[in-house]
């Protein structure tokens, strides 16, 4: 599929037709992408706390001032969509609906991409499968996509790390872009885009070409390859593109190339389990002057 020119909705339609088993997941991704368009999230984009020097993702240390009602609405909504799609999210959705779990807490751990804390907060086992695995990043997606829109120009131009300069996540894929074939890493969650050198593993920094290689899928005419590292056993799917994949579509492109993930896994390579870089994020209730004046609780 020549996806860089394909619109998001068309891509969703294609994925839906080719993989009916992904429908529940697609329903939730679609909702997260739609939500990311809502202007409220741009309003919640926090002030930057630092310049991103020294490999510190911009999201680290921020304080998000959010309207609790709107955040809770979003979390309840996405849990509702996931439940209606027939996924295993139902017990979690029920705990939220019955007031045992504050959606704001779930949101904060999701935006921090703190997988352990998200699991702890959500009271789910680490070894579950299916949709819940990606739920945290989908809950965080509207906020992270808005941060990326606001901060894309603030990323240090010499960012030389394998993890995302905005949110600290590992790249979902790489692009070999344009006529000069420059290598760009792309984050699936916030959509960001950063340059990277060819002969370096984004995960462990290995630069020895003896330890780096690529698995080429013969039926794809080398438009899609998998770069692998024998030091850390990590892999990155790489696509040849003329123009950048739209930030919102990286998550779809990642899904559309799952055949490459399978090929890599079959050969013993994997995506790192730990995240790229820790980020600490706090979410605080946005104070409303009117509420303050009336002495009402947020
Ligand atoms: Zn990111
Ligand atoms: Zn490596």
Q: Which residues crowd ion ligand 1, with CB under 5 Å? A: 164, 166-167, 169, 187, 190, 192
Question: Whole-model pTM above 0.85?
Answer: yes
The predicted pLDDT at position 78 comes to 94
Rounded to the nearest angstrom, the distance between the alpha carbon of 271 and the centre of ligand 2 is 10
Tens digit of each residue's pLDDT, the chain (298 residues): 444 445 667 778 878 888 888 888 888 999 999 999 999 999 999 999 999 999 999 999 999 999 999 999 999 999 999 888 877 788 888 889 898 899 999 999 899 887 778 878 877 665 554 556 678 889 999 999 999 999 999 999 999 999 999 999 999 999 999 999 999 999 999 999 999 988 899 999 999 999 999 987 666 556 889 999 999 999 999 999 999 999 999 999 998 888 899 899 999 999 887 777 888 898 888 765 555 556 655 4
Q: Give the length of the chain.
A: 298
Cα 193 to ligand 1 centre (Å): 8
Centre of ligand 1 from the C-alpha of residue 150, in Å: 13
For ligand 2, a single-atom ion, the residues with CB < 5 A are 201, 203-204, 206, 229, 231-232, 234
Burial readout 177-207 (b: 16 or more C-beta within 10 A, e: otherwise): beeeeebbbbbbbbbbbbebeeebbbbeebe
Q: What does R_g of the chain's alpha carbons equal in angstroms?
A: 19
| Ligand 1 center from residue 173 Cα (angstroms) | 12
| Distance from Cα 208 to the centre of ligand 2, integer Å | 10
Give distance in angstroms: CA of 231 to centre of ligand 2: 5
Task: Give the pLDDT score at 13.
Answer: 81
Q: If you measure from the C-alpha of residue 171 to the centroid of ligand 2, how many angstroms do you get, rounded to a whole number? A: 13
Tell me the per-residue pLDDT of 245-265, one tens digit each, with 9 for 90 and over: 999 999 999 988 888 998 999
Residue 177: φ, ψ to 5°: -110, 140
Which ligand number lies closest to the CA of residue 269? 2
Distance 269 CA to ligand 1 centre (A): 22
Contact between 157 and 165 (Cβ < 8 Å): no
């Amino acid at each position: 599929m020549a996806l860089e020119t394909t619109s998001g909705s068309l891509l969703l339609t294609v994925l839906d037709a080719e993989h009916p088993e992904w429908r529940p997941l697609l329903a939730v991704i679609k909702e997260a992408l739609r939500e990311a368009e809502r202007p409220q999230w741009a309003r919640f984009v926090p002030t930057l706390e630092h310049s991103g020097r020294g490999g510190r993702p911009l999201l680290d240390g921020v304080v998000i001032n959010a309207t609790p009602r709107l955040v809770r609405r979003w979390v309840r909504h996405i849990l509702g969509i996931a439940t209606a799609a027939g996924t295993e999210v139902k017990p979690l959705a029920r705990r939220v609906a019955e007031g045992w779990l504050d959606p704001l807490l779930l949101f904060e751990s999701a935006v921090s991409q703190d997988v352990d804390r998200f699991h702890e907060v959500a009271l789910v086992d680490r070894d579950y499968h299916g949709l819940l695995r990606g739920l945290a990043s989908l809950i965080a997606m509207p906020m992270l996509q808005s941060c990326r829109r606001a901060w894309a120009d603030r990323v240090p131009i010499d960012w030389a790390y394998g993890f995302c300069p905005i949110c600290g996540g590992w790249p979902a894929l790489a692009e070999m872009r344009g006529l000069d074939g420059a290598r760009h890493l792309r984050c699936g969650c916030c959509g960001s885009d950063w340059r990277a050198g060819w002969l370096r593993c984004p995960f462990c920094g290995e630069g020895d070409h003896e330890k780096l290689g690529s698995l080429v899928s013969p039926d794809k005419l080398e438009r899609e390859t998998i770069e692998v590292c024998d030091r850390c056993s990590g892999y990155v799917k790489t696509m040849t593109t003329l123009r950048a994949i739209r930030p919102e579509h990286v998550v779809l492109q990642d899904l559309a190339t799952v055949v490459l993930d399978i090929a890599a896994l079959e050969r013993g390579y994997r995506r790192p389990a730990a995240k790229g870089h820790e980020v600490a994020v706090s979410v605080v209730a946005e104070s409303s002057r009117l509420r303050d004046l009336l002495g009402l609780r947020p």
